[in-house]
Structure 1
Amino acid sequence: MLPPENRFLSPRTGWTRAHWEAVADQLLDAVHQHWSPRCARIDLPGEPSRYGPVSDGLEGFARTFLLAGFRVAGGGDPALLERYAWGLAAGTDPHSPEAWPRPDELGQAKVEAASIALVLQLTKPWLWDHLDDGVRQRVVDWLGTVVGQPYPPINWVWFRIVVESFLREVGGPWSVEDVEQDLALHASFRRADGWLSDGEERAYDHYTGWALHLYPLLWTHLFDVPDSLCSQDLRRTWSDDLARYLEDAAALLGADGSPLMQGRSLTYRFAAAAPFWVAAMTGVPGPSPGLLRRAASGVLRHFVDHGALEPDGLLRLGWHGGWPALRQAYSGPGSPYWAAKGMLGLALPADHPVWTDVERPLPVERMDYTRVIAAPGWLVSARRADGIVTTVNHGTDHALPGDQRADSPLYAKLGYSTATMPVSTDNSVVLLDSAGAASHRAGFRTLFAEELPGGVVAGASRGPVRWVDTSADDSPDHGSGRGGEIIEGPPVLVVSVVRSAVEIRIVRVDGDPPARKSHGGHIHGPHVHECAPHGSRLRVSGWPVAADTRPREETADGEEVVVTGARLRSSLQALRGFDQAGVHTGTGTSPLGKYTAVPWLATTGPVARGDVLAAVVRLDRGGEAVATPQLIVRGNEIVLRWSDGLDSRITLPSP
């Protein structure tokens, strides 16, 4: 049961600290019956990850430990840590039947070791200082196996930094070379306007906030980090980067509190609130405490209201409720509890301004807006009337330019929003081979993403498309697209012009496909394939509508198609070159509803090189639609004349 709403302190969500405490206590209470006998594991129900049930049990321990630690640090009952103390004793004892796999034995243990070290640091007065010397030494020995170990060059570098920093403070082994190497890697992830890529690829997702901004500032806030490791200038840079990133992060939240449904590990759900809390905890200048709590409370309430906590109080793999198809290779029954990172605010005292200031509205609650987020190549648009935030994507694919793998559906699509979950057929521009198979676009090159007069934003990307046979690729799903033997297609140019949540999507086939050697998703390989025939049919698709009742479909003369359901309306309207319209339908393909429908437009015949095609792509909640602009094509010059007389001009790059 949740306490009554407080619409004076929290006029937007009604939620206060008491609501957060109630949810946290419910989450912790629900896992009690799943403790192992010696409390080294929390063995939650569900299909195990690829690492097995012992690793999954450690994951359940470590990730709920985060939540218990935040609760105690912010004034909760220290008794919450008692079972975790027993588990530390058993898990680090190599002779115990519940001994944990060491970080030097199992990669996943490196992740969980960081959560354990972070909470041990945060709760030293209540836990670490009360462990007996033998347990403390075994914990140091277990954590100490990370020193000198290889870590993937992604957000994982922070797991080693956190563990070795705790070890340094308690007199354990650590390596200054490890920390300096990891800090250098983190620096290489920095991109424009406070964004960070999760590795060298164009991997922009929620890890920017819940990992790559979270750990650096917590590290300098919770640990005694010497200036020789992290200068004051670098600390200010990190703080300024987070402040700038939060401008975009707040603008990417829907009015209903939904985060953007894009990127891997979506089962972590309200971990998306983490960067707002770390800003409050570390005093990042800029965002007001009331806005930070509004954003965080909106995210948590969204998931609670939509059934993320199952009737038994557990979090299961999924988005709102359980939906196993969202799992990835590393996902196990304990994985969803990284959502605890989004409850970091509970570690702050109840009289902190982030808890006592009045909520401030999100950007989408105050006004309509468009903006360009340069690093991921996103054109963002939101309307106050709908409360939906959409992004049109011309810069993110979890790949590098020239990559020839298949598209990753969580990264490479043309659009993501706070109201739609990507499915296999939505938000694409594809060529169709003779059997109707669709091409892939990952590895494209971003040409531009820019603001135009009148609240218009525009972006473009281009690259050779391909057909990929992924049937032989059984590599773990960690976010990237899959590889395989390919048939190459021609370069395809896609341009988007967005105003008031309406996208004008312009497409041009830009050349004949070259004969290339291709295999295994890489540019060069031992097998030669014939190229796809030039002049394939072209198809574009719009936003998916998922609902528990079958969405309604309307198609008019092959020029417009509209799908409605679950208070959403998705439409495509042909402006130039399309003469077919229809709807892809599916069942069980989205966690947002039993049925999914995606509108599409296509050509009945081949598309000639250099032909310009265009369509209007809309997503809204019904009501009066924004008027369609007039499209004028003069060679490579495109003019969009909007109903209020504004002209938006785009010069297409030469083929």
Structure 2
Amino acid sequence: MTDHTASVRPAGAGASGPEARVWLTGYADRLLAAVEPYASPTGSLITLPGTPGGYGTAVDGLEGFARTFLLAGFRLAGEDGADPAGLAERYAAGLTAGADPAHPERWVRPDEHSQAKVEAASLALILDLTRPWIWDRLAPSAQEHLVDYLASVVGDEGYPDNNWVWFRIVVETFLRSVGGPFSADDVARDLAAHDRFIRPGGWFADGPERSFDHYTGWALHLYPAMWARMTGAAEVAQAAGDDLATRSASDREHLARYLDDALALVGADGSPLLQGRSLTYRFAAAAPFWAGAVSGVGRPGQLREAATRIVRHFADHDVPGDDGLLTLGWHQPWRPLAQRYSGTGSPYWASKGLLGLALPASHEVWTAAPEPLPVDVGDVLAVAAAPGWAISATRDDGIVRVINHGTDHALPGSDGGDSPLYARLGYSTAASPLLDPDAWLSPLDQSVVLLDVADRATHRAGFATVLVPVEHEVSGEQATGTAHPTGAVALGSVADTHWLQVDTTAPDHGSGRPGTATTAGQITTVSIVRGAWEVRLVRVADEFDARAEALRIGGWAAGPDVGSALVPLLGDIAPLSGSTVHDDATPLAGPSTTPWLRYAPVPEGWTAVGVHLGRAVGARHDPAPPAAPHLELAGDQALVTWPDGERTTATLP
């Protein structure tokens, strides 16, 4: 296998399709070559170095095989079976041994461990995609063993009610195409579950909770796009009482709308949003853009630019490292980023971010002229209604910010703990939420909390989203609206905040920690967003627990290259201001500094602060504070005058 990466550097923004494809091909080949020394003698298990994952070494080895098999399959398909590196032979040997129940290197089965259900989907997807070069050339006994291995999912009722339903759909579709067993009832139930996850604006929730994250793109949009092209998918859909053509048309329409938001969420430097679980999958965040190309949705040159820039972002930050291996982390190894289900092979779900290599060089995604990302063209300001996000990207620094009033990985009315990955008030492509153990127990960054005498902070999970109408003055004229107003957007939420005695023994799957809750008081928070600024208004209801000693508002946890500012804008009480420095609380390099304001006693009425995130200027660790917005209150009207003189009026709840 040729290692192109030694001589071909990542093409810059706006690179041609052929240049991008050459670089991505070399990057993929390096990843596949690097894992080869860690394969078992037959190649069925690829057990990478490091502390075993929470599910044990057997699952780690299966993941290492199945997830790199994704990438190998993309390479084979995109070259129409041309295989100078011998990938087909290498993975065929592993498939033969892994599915053989009597082989000492056999895989853990889906009916032995649930994680194998995930990996079975990767096996089935690539066996279908590479059918002429792998499946059709396997010995009949190997084919029989694979059918038996995959068939253990049929009728299994142990699939979680989330993106996992697609794993069974993909497996059973492949099984039917090779004469194996499948259940029309399974597929019908799983398609119905998928439909329940549909949300406005092209979004999916990853299950019944308010779980919005990268799984929307790299799972709930990706699998329908790939399934529609699997052999026999139309027949499987028909058997399940569905029509593939009608469903696929709806899926493409939904994907097209989602891509509008997904493109706006990519930073100018290619960084995805640091939000949600499974961030160690890194450039899997590129997958929905390739899904758009596969489905014929979106502008090919822009989709390629987004996907390539995401992969390049990690390459520019030395991913993979000198050993060529993907690790549990973000830019560098950082194991706290892992969830309980994450093992040494888990990061190779990043292979989805190289799906475009399955498309031939003649495909329009490779031949189209490059197009810029939204943040390259100008400032972006929008509201994604389903996740409850105000999206603001600024062209001058290339940063994307999300102000969050709709996502908490919980149900409305929940009294669990806040997940730092979901329930914070803000996420960005340039800053990470604090993820050290304390962050799960006591919210600090991007939070509004009540503090007791021991400085225990409240949680807000289970909050209710509220709409905040705004009017913005543009050149002396008014533009009015709540969804995509010109000039500024606003969102709000009302939380029955609670202190929590956390159950620290609960397994980590990305959700907030469970525990015993004690009601603290109701807090209403409103965010008026424009550019790099958020005007955050906060009101604590009159009746709150007497143990609440103070109100604390936290800003962005910013690294050395990013400046975070928190400025009082309103209130009769002069707050105590400070900042907290953490040396190793995020997966980004260097210490992070979180500014905060503390109001004691708890103020009556509205309190407001300006929250800013931008690239550091001046002294590296002491960025010059930008000019802040000005705020006035008149009854239920909040009047904001921005630094450039434009004005926004928001009606407060």
TM-score under structure 2 length normalisation: 0.91
Q: Which residue is equivalent to 2:550? A: 537
| 2:610 pairs with 1:616 | yes
Q: Which residue is equivalent to 2:598? A: 602
The answer as to whether partners of 1:5 and 1:15 remain within 8 angstroms in 2 is no
Distance 1:615 1:12, change over 3 A: farther
| 2:204 pairs with 1:196 | yes
CA distance in 1, matches of 2:278, 2:290: 20
Distance 1:451 1:474, change over 3 A: same
The answer as to whether partners of 1:454 and 1:646 remain within 8 angstroms in 2 is no
Q: Which residue is equivalent to 2:629? A: 629
Tell me the secondary structure at the aligned position of residue 509 of structure 1.
strand
Q: Which amino acid aligns with 1:507?
A: V
Q: Which amino acid aligns with 2:211?
A: A
Q: Which residue is equivalent to 1:525? A: none
| 2:214 pairs with 1:206 | yes
Deviations 1:360-383 (A, max 9, x none): 100000011210010000001111
**Structure 1 unaligned blocks of 5 or more:** 514-531, 547-564
**Residues 410-425 of structure 1 mapped to structure 2, 5 A cutoff:** 410-423=421-434, 424=439, 425=444
| 2:335 pairs with 1:324 | yes
CA distance in 2, matches of 1:270, 1:376: 21
Q: Which residue is equivalent to 1:586? A: 582
CA distance in 1, matches of 2:113, 2:8: 45
Q: Which residue is equivalent to 2:647? A: 647
| 2:437 pairs with 1:443 | no
CA distance in 2, matches of 1:137, 1:445: 52
Question: How far 1:611 moved relative to its partner?
Answer: 1.7
Question: How far 1:187 moved relative to its partner?
Answer: 0.1
Tell me the secondary structure at the aligned position of residue 588 of structure 1.
coil
Question: How far 1:535 moved relative to its partner?
Answer: 5.0
2:56 to 52, 56, 59: 52
2:414 to 403, 416, 426: 403
CA distance in 1, matches of 2:18, 2:271: 16
Q: Which residue is equivalent to 1:561? A: none
Q: Which residue is equivalent to 2:450? A: 431
CA distance in 2, matches of 1:87, 1:509: 60
| 2:471 pairs with 1:458 | no
| 2:535 pairs with 1:504 | yes
1:127 to 130, 134, 139: 134
Question: How far 1:267 moved relative to its partner?
Answer: 0.2
CA distance in 1, matches of 2:168, 2:351: 20
Higher relative contact order (CA 8 A, sep 6+): 2
Q: Which amino acid aligns with 1:77?
A: D
The answer as to whether partners of 1:7 and 1:13 remain within 8 angstroms in 2 is no
Question: How far 1:576 moved relative to its partner?
Answer: 1.6
1:85 to 92, 106, 125: 92
CA distance in 2, matches of 1:24, 1:383: 32
Question: How far 1:629 moved relative to its partner?
Answer: 2.8
Question: How far 1:178 moved relative to its partner?
Answer: 0.1
**Residues 96-495 of structure 1 mapped to structure 2, 5 A cutoff:** 96-150=103-157, 151-226=159-234, 228=238, 229-284=242-297, 287-423=298-434, 424=439, 425-448=444-467, 450-451=482-483, 453-470=485-502, 472-495=503-526
**Structure 2 unaligned blocks of 5 or more:** 469-481, 618-623
Q: Which residue is equivalent to 1:34? A: 38
Distance 1:386 1:113, change over 3 A: same
Question: How far 1:14 moved relative to its partner?
Answer: 10
Tell me the secondary structure at the aligned position of residue 493 of structure 2.
strand
Question: How far 1:649 moved relative to its partner?
Answer: 2.0
TM-score under structure 1 length normalisation: 0.90
CA distance in 2, matches of 1:132, 1:452: 58
Distance 1:266 1:643, change over 3 A: closer
| 2:65 pairs with 1:61 | yes
Deviations 1:488-526 (A, max 9, x none): 11100000001122100000001424xxxxxxxxxxxxx
Question: How far 1:451 moved relative to its partner?
Answer: 4.3
Question: How far 1:104 moved relative to its partner?
Answer: 1.2
The answer as to whether partners of 1:221 and 1:282 remain within 8 angstroms in 2 is no
Question: How far 1:641 moved relative to its partner?
Answer: 2.7
CA distance in 2, matches of 1:345, 1:6: 16
Question: How far 1:8 moved relative to its partner?
Answer: 9.5
Tell me the secondary structure at the aligned position of residue 638 of structure 1.
strand
Question: How far 1:303 moved relative to its partner?
Answer: 0.4
| 2:78 pairs with 1:74 | yes
The answer as to whether partners of 2:97 and 2:106 remain within 8 angstroms in 1 is yes
Distance 1:231 1:11, change over 3 A: closer
Tell me the secondary structure at the aligned position of residue 591 of structure 2.
strand
CA distance in 2, matches of 1:534, 1:612: 20
Identity value in percent: 51
Distance 1:14 1:369, change over 3 A: farther
Q: What is the root-mean-square deviation in Å for CA atoms of aligned residues?
A: 1.8
CA distance in 2, matches of 1:15, 1:260: 26
Tell me the secondary structure at the aligned position of residue 476 of structure 1.
coil
Tell me the secondary structure at the aligned position of residue 590 of structure 1.
coil
Deviations 1:428-486 (A, max 9, x none): 1111111111111111000126347541000000011011111x342211121111122
The answer as to whether partners of 1:13 and 1:298 remain within 8 angstroms in 2 is no
